[in-house]
Structure 1
Amino acid sequence: MLDELKSAARKVNGARHLRGLLIDCKRLLSERGEANSVAIASDLIARFRELPDDAQASFFERLSRDFSPDPKAVLQSAQAYAEAPSAANLQRLTQTAEPPRQELLRRINRTPGGTGSIVAMRRALLARMPKQPELQAVEADFLHLLSSWFNPGFLQLRRVDWNSPAQLLEQIIRHEAVHQIDGWDDLRRRLQPDRRCFAFFHPQLPDEPLIFVEVALLPAMPAAVAPLIDKTSAPLPAGQFKVAAFYSISNCQPGLKGVSLGNFLIKRVADELQRELPQLKTFCTLSPIPGFARWVRAGAPCEGLPKARAQRLAEAHATLRDACAGDFDKLLHASALKALPEPAAQALLRLAAYYLGCHAPSAGGDPVARFHLDNGARLERLNPLGDLSPKGLRQSFGMMVNYLYDLDKVETHHEKFVQGEVAQSRLLTSLL
């Protein structure tokens, strides 16, 4: 009985906050709101934070329904522009077609803390999208505005080192998404002179990293991740720095998902390192292949291949399957991978080459591969046994890959990828 009363009280309280929030939204869009936007927006943000989950869902639904363009007005403006395509008619059509919720978000953004609050709103919205796809138009408006406000031209690149504020270092530990940081000793090693960490910041969120990348300075292109994150290893002398290897990139703000940050970060960091260390000649990654094992288990589907290549792919899959006696779970153990007979080891390598070189351009291609290839990198080298951690074995049977960033060719490689062609080394091409 008590639980029922508490639940009813939460619903009543949530409905009250929702009504007040919607009133604030309409006030903020009024002429009076134009003049008092900061105060009204502050109240609006406070009310949103107090909304329970079910009331948040109702709020986004109302944003979709009540703050969309007027279809009749849009049609009239479109007909007027079709009949007389003047600049005035185009401007009127553009203004009429823009959802009022975009202006609402702009006015929220004017208040102190408004930018961060909108990022938090979008995070809540994204969590609801799988169950409420009808909110896609609202999500598109959030993404449109945040992509403008977080344009790389507005972002600040900062190096993170051991002397950075403790609060920032704690966020680096917490948000590392590729290779978990095992406490302060691990972080200290990752910030030694043969390592670098860079992050993007926004002027409105000066103490919160948006995204950061970790770099190892090495004598040669790395083939395995364990030596890069070994917290007991000794730092290399600067005279051995010839290669900059990006081995981890992590987003810190879920509310900025889909906003292009990582591609600009890697290129900015490469330019920064080249200025600091002119002896660096090679910029590459050591990257995971998170979808590879799942793709192999699914039968290694790859559409549109010429007959000869399709046959080689099928043969490689059959060879690996036979070596595992049909049980791919056997490849989740480092000892089994090391004991693979040569034909099966070669088959695993060939499957990875097909996955990255042929499957990657498709809509369902590996997300890490698509990120780097679309960013203008070249598929350079496969590294069996590159990541023997439980996560690496589970995702890719231990396989890792190097992408090469040739700074003079990234635009050309990007254009090829957009056309469905993967830039890759001769070694990788020979496996297809």
Structure 2
Amino acid sequence: MAAAEQRQTVIERALSNLTGAWRDVANSAARTIGLPEPLLPPTDRRALRRFMRECLDAKGGEVSARMQAAELGQVYLEADPAGRACFRQVLAEDFGVDYAKVKEATATFEAAVDEAERHRAAHELRQSLIPSRSALLRKFSALDNGVKFLVDLRADLLAETNPTPALVALDADFRDLLLSWFDFGFLDMEQISWSSPAALLEKLIAYEAVHEIRSWDDLRNRLDSDRRCYALFHPRMPEEPLAFVEVALHDGLAESVQDLLDEEAPLANPSQADTAIFYSISNTQAGLKGISFGEFLIKCAVRRLSAEQPNIKTFATLSPVPGFARWLAKVDDDLLRAAVGDDSGKLTEAASESDPAVALRALLSRNGWSDDRKLCKSLKEPMMRLVAAYFQERRDNREPIDPVARFHLRNGARLERVNWRGDVSTKGLRQSHGIMVNYRYLPESMEANHESYASDRRIAASSDVKALLKAARGLASRKSSESEQRRSA
């Protein structure tokens, strides 16, 4: 089963379980305290609005409120896409901030004449700015699996293609609530092994976002004795990993993910390994977008490994360069000519093209080029220069354009090594022409690297990478020279 299908199956099963559980709660309410049977038409805005107000009013006490919240959640879970969209619209448009109350509270604050009045008025003003739906969202969170329901509801909200201002405001409310609930202090890191529950292992397969888990044998290999897998959990979502990292205990830096994931490779002795390679970090919950768990997870994993495997002295990643191929497809041909430099003869001959830039593009688009050892040897130096130039490219805020680089550099890692043919899978060739990099986490310099990056956007790098980056800066002058020569010809 493909990863996308596996993920969809896991999600559908979770929703089915939640729907059944909440239906039982709602039906129990109907029998116990006389609530009406649920399932109003999900696109009936008036009925939804009335039902939400009744849930907020909580007449009949907390038990009644809990049952009504379960019933309302059941309406959403059993609705079709149009019904769910209507539910979100009502929540966004009819249960937001009451601006009349804000105006009144502002006037009261401005009219306050002494300190006591100002404190009371400031409190009332703060309260008036809280949308009424916040109380409704908290009622959902009190239910079994209610936090997971809200996370999934936000995922649906984020999938809106043209959100209205009201829906954008609703998302901001969700994000604020979830940020407070998913504070790192509430999270636990657990090791996942082959003996973990099958349902959890199935979720690893479904949620793996970097290197697809192709089979149960592949998963077992990733959980063997020379590997580690750590996941973060929240006590209100105990069966759902929020993020997980896969680690290989290795001798030195890894340069090829195919070698790292080779199921036929001999088992390494963990007690003799000197390096922990973090080769895959996946966030699992779309509804928690904007809440980053990766940095916390890596630091927890480093602490755990340092305590349990004192022979491990080096902590590094084997990371993709996901935007490189897309960037290379758009760059000026003069930059390609400058990067090819003295290797132009080999490449133009191999491609039967006179222009080195045209030759380079033609060779990279050729099927099976990565299997041609002679061609790969000719391509290596120009491509290493170009990927170094890619890491020099910056966004408007001066951060690198590569998202993986931004993540690790913000965390205080340094760019340690660039690996040619690091990932020759179809995905690896498509996104980075097979190049991968190692980011190294040195505990003694992480804080300084983080501060340097945060203040000056300075990229911490090893001496080898610094030489590459320096050469990439030289491409600019060579590019200008190439342009001048072509204009003069």
How far 1:409 moved relative to its partner? 2.6
Tell me the distance in 2 between the aligned counterparts of 1:177 and 1:114: 25
Of 461, 474, 480, which residue of structure 2 is paired with 1:424? 461
Matches within 5 A, 1:296-335: 296-299=328-331, 315-316=338-339, 321-324=357-360, 328-330=364-366, 333-335=369-371
1:173 matched residue in structure 2: 205
Q: What SS class does the counterpart of residue 144 from structure 2 fall into?
A: coil
Q: Deviations over 1:360-379 (max 9, x none)?
A: 76578222222212222111
Structure number with greater Rg is 2
Match of 2:17 in 1: none
Find the aligned partners of 1:58 and 1:364 in 2 and give their Cα distance: 40
In the alignment, which residue of structure 2 is the partner of 1:351? 386
Tell me what 2:420 maps to: 384
Gaps of 5+ in 1: 1-11, 302-310
The aligned residue for residue 189 of structure 2 is 157
Counterpart for residue 27 of structure 1 = 54
Separation in 2, partners of 1:241, 1:140: 45
CA offsets 1:56-105 (integer angstroms, 9 cap, x no match): 22222222221221223324434555676843333222211122222221
Counterpart residue number, 2:80: 52
Instruction: Give the Å deviation of 1:240.
Output: 2.2
User: SS where residue 196 of structure 1 aligns?
Assistant: strand
SS in 2 for 1:324: helix
Alignment check: 8 A CA contact 1:332 1:393 kept: no
In structure 2, which of residues 216, 220, 227 is the aligned counterpart of residue 188 of structure 1?
220
**C-alpha distance in 1 between matches for 2:241 and 2:382:** 41
Q: Secondary structure at the match of 1:22?
A: helix
TM-score by length of 1: 0.86
Q: What amino acid maps onto 2:163 in structure 1? A: Q
Alignment CA distance shift 1:382-1:99 (3 Å): same
Please name the residue that 1:394 is paired with.
430
Tell me, in whole angstroms, the C-alpha distance in 1 between the residues paired with 2:94 and 2:461: 50
Which residues of structure 2 form unaligned runs of 5+? Answer: 1-39, 345-355, 470-489
Change (3 A) 1:230 1:82: farther
Cα deviation for residue 256 of structure 1 reads 1.6
| Structure 1 residue 327 displacement after superposition | 6.6
Q: Which residue matches 2:6?
A: none
Say if 1:340 and 1:168 are closer, same or farther in 2 by CA, change over 3 A: closer
Question: In the alignment, is the contact (CA less than 8 A) between 2:369 and 2:376 conserved in 1?
Answer: no
User: Which segment drifts farther, 173-182 or 20-29?
Assistant: 20-29
SS in structure 1 of the partner of residue 365 of structure 2:
helix
What is the rounded CA distance, in whole Å, between the counterparts of 1:206 and 1:426 in structure 2?
A: 44
- Counterpart CA distance in 1 for 2:133 and 2:61 is 14
Q: Which one of 276, 286, 289 corresponds to residue 254 of structure 1?
A: 286
Cα shift at 1:272: 0.5
Rounded to whole Å, the distance in 2 between the matches of 1:262 and 1:79 is: 45
2:243 is matched with 211
> How much identity, in percent, do the aligned residues show?
40
Question: What SS class does the counterpart of residue 174 from structure 1 fall into?
Answer: helix
1:408, CA displacement in angstroms? Answer: 2.7
The whole-number CA distance in structure 1 between the counterparts of 2:389 and 2:107 is 50
| TM-score normalised over the length of structure 2 | 0.77
Partners of 2:43 and 2:87 within 8 A in 1: no
> How many matched pairs?
409
Cα deviation per residue 1:389-425 (whole Å; 9 max; x = unaligned)? 0100000000001011112332322233333222222
